[in-house]
Amino acid sequence: MTFVYDFEQGSKDQKDLLGGKGANLAEMTVLGLPVPPGFTITTEACRAFLEQGKEPDGLAEEVSAHLAALEQKMGKRLGDPEDPLLVSVRSGAKFSMPGMMETVLNVGLNDRSVQGLAAVAGGDERFAFDSYRRLLQMFGSTVLGLEASVFHEALDGLKADRGAKNDLDLGVEDLRELVATYKQLIHDHTGRDFPQEPREQLDMAVLAVFESWNTERAVLYRRQERIPGDLGTAVNVCSMVFGNGGQDSGTGVAFTRDPASGAQGVYGDYLQNAQGEDVVAGIRNTVPLADLEGIDKASYDELLGIMATLEGHYRDLCDIEFTIEHGKLWMLQTRVGKRTAEAAFRIACQLVDQGLIDEDEAVSRVTGAQLAQLMFPRFDAGSERVLIAKGMNASPGAAVGKAVFDSSTAVEWAERGEDVILVRRETNPDDLRGMVAAKGILTSRGGKTSHAAVVARGMGRTCVCGADSLDVDVKGTKMTAADATVISEGDMISIDGTTGEVFAGRVPVRDSLVVRHFEGDERAEDDHLVLAVERLMKHADHRRRLGVRANADTPEDAARARRFGAEGIGLCRTEHMFLGDRKALVEDLIVAGSTDEQEAALSALLPMQRDDFVGILKAMDGLPVTIRLIDPPLHEFLPDYTELSVSVALEDERGNRDSKHHKLLDAVKKLHEQNPMLGLRGVRLGIVIPGLFSMQARAILEAASALIKQGMDPQPEIMIPLVATVQELELVKADIIRVAGDVEDETGVKLKFKVGTMIELPRAVMAATEIAEQAEFFSFGTNDLTQMTWGFSRDDVEASFFGTYLDKGIFGVSPFESLDREGVGALVRLAVEKGRAARPDLHLGVCGEHGGDPDSIHFFDEVGLDYVSCSPFRVPVARLEAGRSAADAISDTA
């Protein structure tokens, strides 16, 4: 095993072995770019060190050999008292990682070589001692473990003593004194002297980098980001070049194109007579990179040439760190640069046009998250605003309207044309109409997976939730901010769902051109960004294997989903159809004392349900519409048990005994469940309440029948929720088949429909083979499957322990946001295998919220689902990610 590679020996594809920084240094070296010579100690050496608890055998010898070669190349010896070779020691893991030791510069300096450095720098003792004190400071804090503040305090003390404003005001004698002070501090804190031997400095710095892999912060970061703990870091040892040797020297950063817009040109900053850390410290202002042309045209031209080489070579925007030492340009680092969402789309298309990448690669260069960013309206960047609170960024976008504190007011005001923001402590299903009517939703309680957040994301409504510094007084129709600002009903507020900010008053909003384009607004078509998005979406659609459907419960949502590119509805929930005006009928159904009363309520609901389905099937004419029979526990349609108990008790106490309320309370009490999520719901309702599911099936099939008569092509798929065992499905399916026969007989129309099931219980996963014998399709309900697999309920856990779990790195991300591949994902994979074993053409989809999550979409593609279904607003995101996943798969097998 080789532990050390010269920069000449590596390439950019060796990030696993050399880390990101080392691989790119090697790549530039091999390209013939001016990189200061050096070598990289591999991640394997680090892993061996961590496993064995000591420096692995052979490492010291290899370092010696590469160091000797470096010395020969540079014509200097490390720390030579006459003319010292100095090196930087930098960590460089595969993934960049906060918390790890980063850099020690000027290794090789000691009490003697500092004089040599001064001599070769033309007697510049100040420069030499400044370099030495920097080494002591960095080595002391990062290698020897002293608090950085120990050095800062000494420096500040000295400056105060000398009346110096900044470091440059200190003279050579001051720095000499500072060096002595630093050495004393190191001795006091560690009990030993700063190592004077240059090679010992180097070895200690290397091991310190290795050890920093396991600092608490690095471990926590890896846990949160799900980076494996056993990768280890590489160490880059690079000969020093100095940008602070005079006016013919300097340091800078450059981008090969504009990271904000993607436009080609010269972007970056330059600082004359300075080192990188001075730029960070902000001692002097940088100048635009273009100004370098006037300062040092030769270096400038060389740099532009190198930038073109790098972009052509990396076939992407690169960012670059460079130093000029006495007119000689040195490349210190390069990497593929970060960029804005807009730039990402535009750059990808430009690179295709330049012939640098193909369209598959272009699609893989942009992300669904970036597209989502481009789809939300945003507050105008330059405008004034008054921040009054900050909550969680639950559903992105920018919304402005009058604050209202209850759903009826929201509906009423919206109907007369006002923009409103619905403000609640928390929301529940009763607030649905208000949420639909509002431009945005603001709550003071609940996390990113609270009712408000989930429903808002589903509808594409802007939402800020859990803004707990706001005191929301629903009865008093006002809220009070922490700074005592009071917002009353009708006052204008603005909420930013992308940042979680809440502003008093109206903040100007910019529309999303991309959405206007998806909505069919032709005026948006000529925009550069829209053109880029359109082009990559087209290619993604062309590439993707995975279908994309939408979750939609109304004809309006269905129509929008279709405009956004949905190829059907993957989840049409029917419970929302039982709210509003129909709530009284549903109450009758539940409170019904006799079968007759139940049947009467069902008969009254039938024509309404039929109309619902006619609307939706019409909007999706010719495309499949998966309709889920009613799922939630019945008491969701009744008043809250505790609230009703209190109000009935108070009525009684006041002598206003109301027997109707008592009857209702009895019903609520009877239906009250300790754990409604684990209670009488889904298929269980269908089996226990005779006629409920058949009513729904009849409504669907009568709707389909009517549309067929009108010459349309409805494609209903009836979906049974919460199935655990094939026996449940058998019973319900037999009933649906019977109803279908009846409807065909009555209408004389031949029906075409499917019957399938949700897979949302681990039990259903284990029984998937048997279930697939009865089900024509599976739709994975990954919300419930996540709840059951982990044994926690979305409604309860966010507030109580998700925060702690995310902080401690038990989750990298909430398993409700992104599919937990190891647990829930493994069950999905198992169900796919078991289901297809029984029915090879079993149609498979997913309709949980994960259907719109980029990472999860790649997983669903990988395990072979046929489609994902997500909220209409996520449909373009899902199309893009499905395309990216297919493009990745093609390049993987290429």
Tell me the catalytic residues: 451, 847
Say how far apart CA 232 and CA 218 lie, in whole Å.
Answer: 11
Question: Could you tell me the two tokens for 703?
Answer: 């709707």
- 381: nearest Cα among 342, 439, 421: 342
Q: Binding residue for a second copy (CB under 8 A) from 641, 744, 754, 836?
A: 641
Q: Rule CB under 8 A: is residue 808 a binding residue for a second copy?
A: yes
Please tell me whether 781 is known to bind a ligand. yes
Q: Rule CB under 8 A: is residue 449 a binding residue for a second copy?
A: no
Q: Rule CB under 8 A: is residue 725 a binding residue for a second copy?
A: yes
Q: Rule CB under 8 A: is residue 639 a binding residue for a second copy?
A: no
Of the pair 23, 722, the CB lying nearest a second copy is at: 722
Per DSSP, 139 falls in state I
Q: Specify burial of residue 600 (Cβ count, 10 A radius: 0-12, 13-18, 19+).
A: middle
Do 58 and 49 meet the contact criterion of CB atoms below 8 Å apart? no
Do 241 and 323 meet the contact criterion of CB atoms below 8 Å apart? yes
Q: Binding residue for a second copy (CB under 8 A) from 122, 191, 655, 791?
A: 791
Question: Could you tell me the two tokens for 85?
Answer: 């070779």
Q: Rule CB under 8 A: is residue 431 a binding residue for a second copy?
A: no
Q: Rule CB under 8 A: is residue 675 a binding residue for a second copy?
A: yes
- 422: nearest Cα among 436, 450, 403, 408: 403
Of the pair 594, 675, the CB lying nearest a second copy is at: 675
Do 494 and 510 meet the contact criterion of CB atoms below 8 Å apart? no
Of the pair 277, 862, the CB lying nearest a second copy is at: 862
Q: Specify burial of residue 822 (Cβ count, 10 A radius: 0-12, 13-18, 19+).
A: exposed
Pairing of strands 777-780, 471-473: unpaired
User: Closest distance between a second copy and the C-beta of residue 100, in Å?
Assistant: 21
Q: Binding residue for a second copy (CB under 8 A) from 412, 679, 838, 888?
A: 679
Do 723 and 687 meet the contact criterion of CB atoms below 8 Å apart? no
Say how far apart CA 161 and CA 172 lie, in whole Å.
Answer: 15
Q: Binding residue for a second copy (CB under 8 A) from 371, 388, 788, 877?
A: 788
Q: Rule CB under 8 A: is residue 414 a binding residue for a second copy?
A: no
Q: Rule CB under 8 A: is residue 474 a binding residue for a second copy?
A: no
Q: Binding residue for a second copy (CB under 8 A) from 342, 820, 849, 853?
A: 820
Please tell me whether 428 is known to bind a ligand. no
Say how far apart CA 162 and CA 175 lie, in whole Å.
Answer: 11
Do 287 and 251 meet the contact criterion of CB atoms below 8 Å apart? no
Of the pair 180, 649, the CB lying nearest a second copy is at: 649
Q: Rule CB under 8 A: is residue 483 a binding residue for a second copy?
A: no
Interface with a second copy (CB under 8 A), residue total 57
Of the pair 753, 792, the CB lying nearest a second copy is at: 792
Q: Binding residue for a second copy (CB under 8 A) from 1, 281, 387, 678?
A: 678
Q: Binding residue for a second copy (CB under 8 A) from 415, 522, 745, 822?
A: 822
Question: Could you tell me the two tokens for 248?
Answer: 């013919």
- 327: nearest Cα among 305, 304, 289, 295: 295
Residues 755-774 that bind a second copy (CB under 8 A): 760-763, 766-767, 770
Q: Rule CB under 8 A: is residue 787 a binding residue for a second copy?
A: yes
Please tell me whether 782 is known to bind a ligand. yes
Binding mask 71-90 for a second copy (x = CB under 8 A): --------------------
Give the SS3 label for residue 502: strand
Q: Binding residue for a second copy (CB under 8 A) from 135, 585, 797, 870?
A: 797
- Cα angle: 761, vertex 765, 770; to 5 degrees: 120
- 338: nearest Cα among 315, 318, 311: 318
Q: Binding residue for a second copy (CB under 8 A) from 31, 680, 751, 838?
A: 680
Distances, alpha carbon 532 to alpha carbons 217, 279, 528, 536, 539, in Å: 40, 35, 6, 6, 11
Give the SS3 label for residue 886: helix
Residues 221-240 that bind a second copy (CB under 8 A): 223
Please tell me whether 621 is known to bind a ligand. no
Do 242 and 275 meet the contact criterion of CB atoms below 8 Å apart? yes
User: Closest distance between a second copy and the C-beta of residue 760, in Å?
Assistant: 8
Q: Rule CB under 8 A: is residue 654 a binding residue for a second copy?
A: yes
- Where is the binding site for substrate, in residues? 573, 628, 760, 781-784
Q: Detail the residues annotated as belonging to a binding site for Mg(2+).
A: 760, 784
Binding site for a second copy (CB under 8 A): 223, 641-642, 645-646, 649-650, 653-654, 673-680, 684, 687-688, 722, 724-725, 727-728, 731, 760-763, 766-767, 770, 784, 787-793, 795-797, 800-801, 804-805, 808-810, 820, 822-824, 826-827
